Structure 1
Amino acid sequence: MPSPRLRRLASQLTWHWENQLRPRMSDLTDAEYLWEPAEGCWSIRARPDGAFALDWAFPAPEPAPLTTIAWRLAHIGQTLAQRADYHFGGGTLTMERIRWPGLTAAEGLAWVDGAYAAWTAGLAAADDDMLRRHSDGPPGTMDGRFPFADVILHVNREIIHHGAEVALFRDLYRAQRPGDRGTP
């Protein structure tokens, strides 16, 4: 059973996910998911072998390209899946090993839902000792320099930040397509 401190840290993301982000995505269409509002957008692409890949580069170019909703949802899923794997699993999920979702909104949402479930299940099984330990993690997780409690806060910020971007892109998509119902 998670401690009160851990429950508070986890509840920040859970509340946002259940009351804001995930309901906002419930009627996401394939057209919105893959909409490229400008030339050169990063997105998810089909590879010749039938798998899918996320457009990315490390280091990212300056300025970084605009990204699609598909890319942003994949990034949210990647953030959750990698942190779940590194902190509660085998610690082997690299960008090259991720099986990215396909080219439909349903696939993208199912994938991000699975990653969210893995992360929150790991948090539900954690205890206060884990909050204090410094743990290695994938790049962008402060690389073991801070206690795991700070990693949880970092993940929360990432998901809330990129979730807000997805919501904004849905609004922009609806504004470009008069007559579409969109989301409230």
Structure 2
Amino acid sequence: MDTNEFDWNQTLREQWEWHWENQIRARLTGLTDDEYFWSPVPQAWSVRPRGSSTAPVQAGSGDFTIDYAIPTPTPAPFTTIAWRLGHVIVGVLAARNAVHFGAPAASYDEWEYAGSAADALKQLETQIDVWLAGVRGLSEAELRTPVGSKEPFPELPMAALVLHINRELIHHLSEVSLLRDLYVHTHTAGSGSTE
């Protein structure tokens, strides 16, 4: 194989795009508000109406905030689907889209978190589209360029960040899928659920 003709950009994107189109997107279809906010354990971190959280930090600029603490407690609190989607939307995608692809500035403190599953999925789709469009536009030279001081490991090339984001998306959205399975199996007639 001639590596000069190999499309590294396409190969990096396909890792996530295949997973998104063939596994995750369909698993998110029909997400309900009950599932979105459901907490299978007491005191899980979530996205909550402003002023209703007891977490040490309630980040967000809108009607809903995300639970947080600095430093993160050990062990880290369990997190709901709402929290996990908020993390993916803001920390994994929107902040990177702003730094690397000219999208509006984004941070946990300034984000308007979704108060419904439908709104969260719209935010997710938007940020994924921005990320993929940005990555699609990178040349091979840009994929080799260090990411710079806005990232925790500034010396790593952009290709390493793309792989990291792929892993984060696959990891956290698979967790969301598992929580949906758990919800279904604990909220059906005869499941023995106490809720």
TM-score normalised to the size of structure 1? Answer: 0.87
Amino acid at match of 2:97: A
Partner Cα distance (2:149, 2:108) in 1 = 13
> What is residue 166 of structure 1 aligned with on the other side?
176
Please state how far the C-alpha of 1:137 moved relative to its aligned partner: 6.1
Specify the alignment match of 1:61 in structure 2.
73
CA distance in 2, matches of 1:63, 1:137: 29
Q: Which structure ranks higher in relative contact order (CA pairs < 8 Å, sequence separation ≥ 6)?
A: 1
Tell me the residue number matched to 2:29.
Answer: 26
Q: Which moved more, 1:90-99 or 1:127-136?
A: 90-99
Counterpart CA distance in 2 for 1:137 and 1:122 is 19
Cα distance, 1:179 vs. partner?
4.3
Alignment of 1:18-167 (within 5 A): 18-47=21-50, 51-78=63-90, 79-89=92-102, 92-102=105-115, 104-136=116-148, 141-167=151-177
Alignment partners' CA distance in 1, 2:148 and 2:113 = 23
Secondary structure, in 3 states, of the residue corresponding to 1:134?
coil
Q: Offset at 1:88?
A: 0.9
Distance 1:91 1:137 in 2: 18
Q: If each structure's helix is expressed as a fraction of its own residues, which one has the higher value?
A: 1
Preserved CA contact (<8 Å) 2:62 2:113: no
Alpha-carbon distance, 1:162 to partner: 0.5
Check conservation: 1:21, 1:163, Cα contact below 8 A.
yes
Question: Unmatched 5+ residue regions in structure 1?
Answer: none
TM-score, normalized by length of structure 2? Answer: 0.83
Cα 1:120–1:50, aligned 2, differ >3 Å: closer, same or farther? closer
- Shift of the 46–109 alpha-carbon distance from structure 1 to 2, 3 Å rule, reads same
What amino acid is the match of 2:177? Answer: A
Structure 2 residues not aligned, in runs of 5+: 1-5, 52-60, 191-195
In 1, the alpha carbon distance for the partners of 2:105 and 2:117 equals 27
**Alignment partner of 1:10 is 2:20:** no
The percentage of aligned residue pairs carrying the same residue is 40
- The answer for the alignment partner of 2:58 in structure 1 is none
2:55 corresponds to: none
**1:19-41 superposed Cα distances (whole Å, 9 cap, x missing partner):** 11111010111100100111111
Residue 56 of structure 2 aligns with which residue? none
Q: What value does the CA root-mean-square deviation take over the aligned residues?
A: 2.0
